[in-house]
Amino acid sequence: MWCPPFYVGGYSQAIVTGAEPSLIRNYDYSPSRRHQARVALKGKRIVAVVDCLWGVLDGINEDGLVVSLAFGGRTAAGQGFGMPVVLSYVLEFANTTAAAVAMLGDIPVHMSYSIALIDRKENRATVYLNPDRPAEVVEHCVSTNHQHGVAWACHAETTKSLEREGG
């Protein structure tokens, strides 16, 4: 999963805090292509929706760290890992949102993503990752398929990215 082909989707994700903190998301992935699995490469228990056999689209680990990805809405591509393998690594080795954010800032990615995270103590973050920019933590609890603004108008219009975000 180093420099995989460019691929896009129309995902939405929302972090909810309070009595029952949650990370809620939708897929435009075909149900026949989604598979839930227990993953335990190094012994940490993980439940995730898997992609490409060992990548993760979203999941939770035994420490209560929850992660989710959404396409970031940019056509920039570069040298880096596919996000599903990065999220698999994060769930395996991070136990808090802060640890996950630190990892995400150090791993090169091949295209743009918005990553939502929340941990057991309700520490939350949305991280904008791009192949040509440093990682950026933002205060958004809802993310769709654009970051600060629409960069790829045709995709945003087709997927209704702004409308799904509520803007």
| Residue for token pair 């520490």 | 123
pLDDT for res 154 = 87
Q: How confident is the model at residue 156 (pLDDT cuts 50, 70, 90)?
A: confident
Residue 34's pLDDT is what?
A: 54
pLDDT in tens, 4-43: 777 777 788 889 988 888 888 876 655 555 556 665 667 7
Do the domain assignments include residue 6?
no
Span 47-92, pLDDT tens digits: 888 777 678 889 999 999 999 999 999 999 999 999 999 999 999 9
pLDDT value at 95 more than 80 = yes
Structural domain includes residue 166: no
- Give pLDDT, residue 20: 85
- Could you tell me if residue 138 is inside a domain? yes
Instruction: Give the per-residue pLDDT at 21.
Output: 86
Closest listed residue to residue 60, CA positions, set 48, 43, 44: 48
Q: Is residue 142 a part of any domain in this protein?
A: yes
**Is residue 1 domain-resident?**
no
What CA–CA distance (Å, rounded) separates 83 from 70?
10
Predicted local confidence at residue 129, as pLDDT = 98
* pLDDT reported for residue 74: 94
Amino acid making up residue 86:
V
DSSP H helical ranges for the chain: 83-93, 97-106, 153-159, 161-165
- The total number of structural domains in the chain stands at 1
Give the pair of three-digit tokens for residue 59: 């999941």
Higher per-residue confidence, 106 vs 3: 106
What pLDDT was estimated at residue 3?
A: 73
CA angle 125, 115, 16 (to 5 degrees): 50
Q: Are strands 66-71 and 55-61 parallel, antiparallel or unpaired?
A: antiparallel
- Domain-located, residue 3: no
Cβ atoms of residues 48 and 57 within 8 Å: yes
How many residues belong to the chain? 167
Closest CA to 39 of 26, 48, 30: 48
Could you tell me if residue 120 is inside a domain?
yes
